Amino acid sequence: MFQDLYDLVRYLSEKDLYGLYESSFNETKKKFPIIDKKEGELSQINEEMRGMIGDTVQYKDVESLKKKIFTRFHEKMKEEIPEDVLRQFLDNLFENLEQKIRSHPKIRDMLQFF
C-alpha cells in the first residue's frame, strides 16, 4: 500500500515534515564537506527544497521530486559542486529522510496496521 515515500508524507503535518527534512539535510551535508562548506550559498536552495517537499501534491513520486530538486540545485551550483557529488548527496538525503519518516511515531503506528 505504501510503496513510495510520497504516500507517507501526506500523513504528516507540515511542521513534522519540515523538522524531519531539516534534520536529514543537516545530517547528510556533514557527510559531504564540499556541500557543507557551501551552506550560506545553499540556504536559498534549501528553502526552495523545503517548499517542494512540503508541496508533494505536484509530484507523482519521490523520484519526480528528486529530479526537480536536482535540476534546481545543479542550475545554481553547477560550477561549485560536481554533478555526481550532488546526485549522491540527494540520494543520501532522501534515504535519510525516508528512514526518519518511516520511524516517525505517527507513520510507524500506521504502518503496523498494513
CB 35 within 8 A of CB 89: yes
Place of cell 496496521: 113
For the chain, the domains span 5-112
Q: What is the pLDDT along the chain (114 residues), one digit of tens a residue?
A: 345 666 677 777 778 888 888 898 889 888 888 877 776 666 767 777 777 776 665 666 667 777 877 787 777 777 788 888 888 988 898 889 888 888 888 887 777 765
Task: Report the Cα 76 to chain-centroid distance in Å.
Answer: 17
Cα dihedral: 103, 106, 107, 110 (round 10): 130
**pTM summary value:** 0.76
